[in-house]
Amino acid sequence: MLLSFHGAAQNVTGSCHLVECGGTRILIDCGLYQGGREMAEENRNNFGFDPASIDYLLLTHAHLDHCGRIPLLHRLGFRGTILTTAATRELARLVLLDSARIQEEEARYRNYKASKRRNQQPVEPLYDTLDALNCLDGFIDIAAFGQPHELGSGIRATFYEAGHILGSGCILLELSENGRQRRVLFSGDLGYDGRAILPDPAPPPRADVVVMESTYGDRLHKRLQPSVEELYRAINTTIDRNGNVLIPSFALERTQELLYYLREGIEQQRLPHHLPVYLDSPMAITATQIFRSHRECFDEETWEVITAGRDPFDLPGLHITRDTAESMALKHVHGAVIIAGSGMCTGGRIRHHLRHNLWREEASVVFVGYAAQGTLARRIINGEEVVRVLQDEVEVNAEIHTIGGFSAHADQKELLAWHARTGTPDLTVLVHGEPEAMHLLAGRLQGTSVETPSLHQSLAI
């Protein structure tokens, strides 16, 4: 049995892990690299394996850094089965079609720029809309969390609630080869207890090998409720001075969580009753509709809101802006909350709002998620006084807030608690984290051998 790592190896993007057992080859996730130009170029490099040789792809969840290279995998020959939850399948369709559109637009723009120079080779998109549509044919829904699925002789896969985003799962592989049996558990991305909307992560099963994310392996989060209070204060203070509150937000989960707490704040009279809130992300708007159609994924708290006849994601002053013209008109808005993607400010409409508001002292920017090295979000958070936004140099005069309690990832304490419930694994492999976070988390793990593999490294299990 062999385990190899072809993404999220000593970094936080591009998750892609390969399991080989008894002639069957199983991929866990196939994500896109995100970050600076060097990281983006990694997407065009060799996978480290032959896509046509993969029999199964098990998808933990629909974030782009876990599913974003599936269309490329299909373009290069993959024709296997993609197994995941129904909610993940629907969200992945949204994410992959949006990603294909972005790939096509970027290729057109680069080719337009290159047309003005001599001897420039045309740029092909990483994949296109047809590739995204074609790969969707391979998706099959699992029956339920906790129910084993036979993947062939001597191989079973079982998904468990991960509590990270809608439909997210941890995956246990039970492997048998030449009389040797191993239980290999992949955490995917882990959420934590007590969040709105989603159930808590399920207790993990016993495992011999644990492959675990380490995004926040070096720190503890702020508690959620104080983070909600901090959000309310930032909004009220900014609205009082007639400034806009910009929230760069991930379209999946974070946006819905923000809408949930904004609604709650208005109902509790912690926020103005007719607070103007603009949801300026076509992808987040559609994702919210998908959330509404998968109530089976909600926790008891959210069900109480629904049972009382209220929409957990609606509020009195909510404005939905799908059209580009409506989005552009927001440059004339003052005293409003604008939620737009992307969360790391690497694309999407948030960049336009930053260009119009970042230089204003009365404005605020509230970051509520992880910002990878090299992204515009990280540069702003790190305190750069001038940043480049859409080809313009913009002074950072707005008030900057970083509220960590909204993270969809478990922190160090929660990761350790989850790991402790896996029994006494022989081996723990840390992935999906920056080297410092991995190193600090590895030092806290007891009673297990720890590996932090490099890209394309293989381990016999």
- Which CATH number does the domain housing residue 285 bear? 3.40.50.10890
Terminal Cα distance for the chain, rounded: 6
Residues 376 and 445 in one domain: no
Spatial separation of the C-alpha atoms in residues 345 and 77, rounded to whole Å: 33
Q: Provide the pLDDT confidence category of residue 347 given band limits of 50, 70 and 90.
A: confident
Q: Which domain holds residue 429?
A: 2-219+408-460
Q: What is the mean pLDDT of residues 403-407?
A: 85
39 by DSSP, 3-state: which?
Answer: helix
Residues 318 and 349 in one domain: yes
Q: Provide the pLDDT confidence category of residue 36 given band limits of 50, 70 and 90.
A: low
CATH number of the domain bearing residue 67 = 3.60.15.10
Residues 212 and 228 in one domain: no
Residues 256 and 229 in one domain: yes
Residues 110 and 197 in one domain: yes
Residues 24 and 48 in one domain: yes
Residue 105: count other Cβ atoms within 10 Å of its Cβ. Answer: 12
Which structure tokens are listed for 185? Answer: 């558990």
Please say which residue of 363, 379, 406 terminates a domain: 406
Residues 303 and 452 in one domain: no
User: Mean of the per-residue pLDDT values for the chain?
Assistant: 94
pLDDT of residue 292: 95
Tell me which of 83 and 407 has the higher pLDDT. Answer: 83
**pLDDT tens-digit profile of 160-197?**
999 999 999 999 999 999 999 999 999 999 999 988 89
pLDDT of residue 348: 86
Residues 160 and 43 in one domain: yes
DSSP 289-351: HHHHT-GGG--HHHHHHHHTT--TT--TTEEE--SHHHHHHGGG--S-EEEES-TTSSSSTHH
What lies within 8 Å, CB to CB, of 325 at 6+ separation is none
- Tally the domains of the chain: 2
Looking at the predicted structure, is the pLDDT value of residue 41 above 90?
A: no
Residues 19 and 115 in one domain: yes
Q: What percent of the chain has pLDDT over 70?
A: 99
Q: Provide the pLDDT confidence category of residue 319 given band limits of 50, 70 and 90.
A: very high
Residues 15 and 155 in one domain: yes
Residues 294 and 443 in one domain: no
Looking at the predicted structure, is the pLDDT value of residue 114 above 80?
A: no
